[in-house]
Amino acid sequence: MPTPHWPKASTVELEDWGAGSNTLAGSPRASGKILSQNPDGSSECGLWSCTPGSRKVTFAADEFCHFLSGHGTYVHENGEQIPVEAGTLVFFPAGWTGTSIIIETLTKAFMCR
């Protein structure tokens, strides 16, 4: 089996993943593409993007994120603020709950386990 890879992430066509039911403000709409997923669903990685707006978020699994473009802030339910932009790395542990505030469309590479 060949090794999953995308030679140039910026050229990957993302699929529309919809608006979701967790919108707090604006009209954020997500898109993405899965690069690889374990057959048992225990982990996956790929690209994710979302347009501006605010959403309630809870990470069901551990997720490592490398933000590639855009600008926003994640606010943990305890008030901790995590500004994100191109180059930001974040590890969200399973169960992390808060608000995602996207000012400029965010795109990230992610790995969930």
**pLDDT of 21 higher than 90:** no
Spacing of C-alpha 32 from chain mean position: 9
The class level of CATH for 18-112 reads mainly beta
pLDDT digits (tens, 9 = 90+) for 51-109: 999 999 999 999 999 999 999 999 999 999 999 999 999 999 999 999 999 999 999 99
Cα separation, 58 vs 85, in Å, equals: 20
C-alpha to C-alpha distance for 51 and 61, rounded to whole angstroms: 23
In this prediction the pTM is: 0.94
| Domain range annotation of the chain | 18-112
